[in-house]
C-alpha cells in the first residue's frame, strides 16, 4: 500500500497588534483579523478552587500529531482529532484532522472506520490538497472493500481535477483499471491499464514519476484481465475439434497473460512482483483443473454401453499424462516467487498464499505422477524473470 505523510499543519500564534507597520493604514469597516476559536473550561482544583484551562484547535492538532508520529494512532484520533472535528468544525485544522484520522485508521487496517473521515475531508474542503490526497486514499479503501461502483465513480471525479501531479494521475488511472476489473469489465479494464502504462512511459522519459508501484499495479490489471477472460472460456461438450478451437484461444490468452505478469515483475516492485508470480502458478493450476473437468468428447467410433466407462477412464488418464507439465509449471513458478520474496524481504499476503498453494500442488503432482512415463517433464524456467513459454512447453 502506498503511503502518504500525515498533514503537517501546525498551530501558529495569531496576534492582533495595536500598531500598524510603517507605510500601512489601519483597517476600516468591513475588515477583520481571523483568529482560532478558543475553549475555556472551568474545573475544581485539588484545594476546591476553580481552575481554568484554555485550548484551541491548533493545540489539539499538535498534541494529536505528536501521538501519531509515535505510532499511537488510535489515541491520537480519539483523544485529539475527534475533539477538533466535534468542537471546532469550522477551524482550518478540521480537514487535516479528518485526513490524519482516516490515514491512521486506513494504514492500521481499519478500512471501514477510515471511510467517514476521508469523506469528511471531501465535504469540508473539496478543493484543497488534503481533499486530493483523501480522494485517492478513499479510492484505495473502496477497492479494498470491493465497492467497485463507488470506487469507479470517485476515481472518475478525481481524474477531472486539474491540480493532480503526475504520480497522482498515474495512481488515478491505475485505480480506475482496478475498479473496472472488479466489475468484471475485462476489456475496459485492459484498455484502461494500457492507457495507464502509456502515461507512465511518457512521464518516465521526463523523470516525472520516480516510483513504479502504480505502473506495476496497472500491468498486473492488464495481465489479470487476460487471465480472467481466458477462464470464462469453458470447453464445450462436443467433438475434440470443437474443444480444440476453444482450447487454442484460451491457451493464447494464457500465454499473453503470462507475458504481462512477467512485465509486472520487471517493474521491480516487490509487492506486485509477488502477486504476479503467484498468479502465474495459479493460472496453470486453474487451467489444469479446467481441462481435467472438461466434458469428454464422444469416441470416434460407436462403443458398446459397457465400454463407455472404460473409454472415459482411459481418456482422463491420457489427458492427465499430457497436461501434467501444467502442474510442474505451477510448482516451479511458485517456488521462484517464494525465492523472490526471500531475496527482497517483503512479506505480503501473496507469499503466504503461495506457500499454501505450493504444498497443495506438490501433493497433487505426487497423486498424478506416472513413474513409467516421465518424458513429458518440461524445461525448468530461469531462476530470474522467466522468458515466455509456448503452448508446446506447457503440454497444451
pLDDT digits (tens, 9 = 90+) for 223-267: 999 999 998 988 777 777 787 788 888 888 988 998 999 899 889
Q: Among candidates 180, 197, 165, 192, which has minimal Cα distance to 4? A: 165
Q: What is the mean pLDDT of each run of 10 residues along the chain (396 residues)?
A: 49 29 35 53 56 76 92 92 93 93 92 96 88 95 97 97 95 98 97 98 91 96 95 80 82 89 90 86 79 79 77 74 70 75 69 72 65 44 43 40
Q: How many CA atoms lie within 13 A of 233 on its CB side?
A: 19
Exposed e or buried b for every residue in 161-173, given b needs 16+ CB within 10 A? eeebebbbbbbbb
pTM summary value: 0.74
Q: What are the E-state strand segments in 7-75?
A: 38-44, 50-56
pLDDT at 260: 94
Instruction: Give Cα separations from 80 to 55, 157, 233, 360 (angstroms).
Output: 11, 31, 55, 49
pLDDT at 376: 46
Q: What is the pLDDT of residues 353-365, one digit of tens each?
A: 777 776 776 776 6
Q: Among candidates 133, 146, 179, 157, which has minimal Cα distance to 2? A: 133
pLDDT at 322: 66
For residue 184, what is the enclosing H or E element? none
Asked if 337 contacts 351 with a C-beta cutoff of 8 angstroms, the reply is yes
- What is the spatial distance between Cα 91 and Cα 115, in angstroms, rounded to a whole number? 21
Amino acid at each position: 500500500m502506498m503511503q502518504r505523510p500525515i498533514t503537517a499543519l501546525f498551530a501558529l500564534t495569531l496576534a492582533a497588534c495595536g500598531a500598524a507597520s510603517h507605510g500601512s493604514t489601519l483597517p476600516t469597516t468591513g475588515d477583520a483579523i481571523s483568529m482560532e476559536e478558543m475553549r475555556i473550561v472551568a474545573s475544581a482544583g485539588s484545594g476546591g478552587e476553580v481552575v481554568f484551562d484554555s485550548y484551541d484547535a491548533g493545540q489539539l492538532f499538535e498534541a494529536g500529531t505528536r501521538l501519531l508520529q509515535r505510532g499511537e494512532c488510535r489515541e491520537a484520533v480519539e483523544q485529539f482529532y475527534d475533539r477538533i472535528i466535534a468542537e471546532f468544525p469550522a477551524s482550518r485544522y478540521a480537514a487535516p484532522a479528518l485526513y490524519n484520522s482516516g490515514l491512521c485508521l486506513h494504514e492500521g487496517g481499519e478500512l471501514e472506520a477510515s471511510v467517514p473521515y476521508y469523506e469528511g475531508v471531501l465535504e469540508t474542503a473539496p478543493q484543497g490538497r488534503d481533499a486530493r490526497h483523501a480522494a485517492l486514499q478513499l479510492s484505495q479503501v473502496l477497492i479494498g472493500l470491493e465497492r467497485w461502483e463507488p470506487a469507479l465513480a470517485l476515481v472518475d471525479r478525481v481524474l477531472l481535477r486539474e491540480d493532480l501531479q503526475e504520480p497522482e494521475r498515474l495512481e488515478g488511472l491505475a485505480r480506475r483499471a482496478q475498479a473496472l476489473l472488479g466489475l468484471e469489465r475485462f476489456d475496459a479494464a485492459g484498455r484502461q491499464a494500457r492507457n495507464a502504462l502509456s502515461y507512465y512511459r511518457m512521464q518516465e522519459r521526463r523523470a516525472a514519476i520516480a516510483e513504479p508501484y502504480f505502473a506495476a499495479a496497472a500491468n498486473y490489471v492488464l495481465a489479470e484481465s487476460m487471465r480472467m477472460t481466458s477462464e470464462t472460456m469453458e470447453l464445450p461438450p462436443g467433438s475434440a475439434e470443437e474443444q480444440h478451437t476453444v482450447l487454442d484461444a484460451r491457451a493464447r490468452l494464457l500465454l499473453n497473460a503470462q507475458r504481462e505478469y512477467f512485465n509486472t515483475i520487471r517493474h521491480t516492485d516487490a509487492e506486485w512482483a509477488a502477486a504476479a508470480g503467484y498468479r502465474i502458478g495459479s493460472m496453470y493450476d486453474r487451467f489444469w483443473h479446467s481441462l481435467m473437468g472438461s466434458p469428454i468428447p464422444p469416441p470416434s467410433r460407436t462403443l458398446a454401453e459397457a465400454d463407455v466407462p472404460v473409454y472415459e477412464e482411459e481418456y482422463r488418464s491420457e489427458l492427465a499424462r499430457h497436461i501434467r507439465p501444467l502442474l510442474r509449471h505451477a510448482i516451479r513458478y511458485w517456488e521462484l516467487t517464494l525465492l523472490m520474496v526471500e531475496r527482497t524481504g517483503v512479506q505480503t499476503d501473496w507469499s503466504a498464499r503461495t506457500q499454501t498453494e505450493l504444498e497443495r500442488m506438490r501433493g497433487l503432482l505426487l497423486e498424478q505422477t506416472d513413474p513409467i512415463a516421465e518424458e513429458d517433464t518440461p524445461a525448468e524456467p530461469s531462476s530470474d524473470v522467466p522468458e515466455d513459454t509456448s503452448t508446446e512447453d506447457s503440454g497444451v
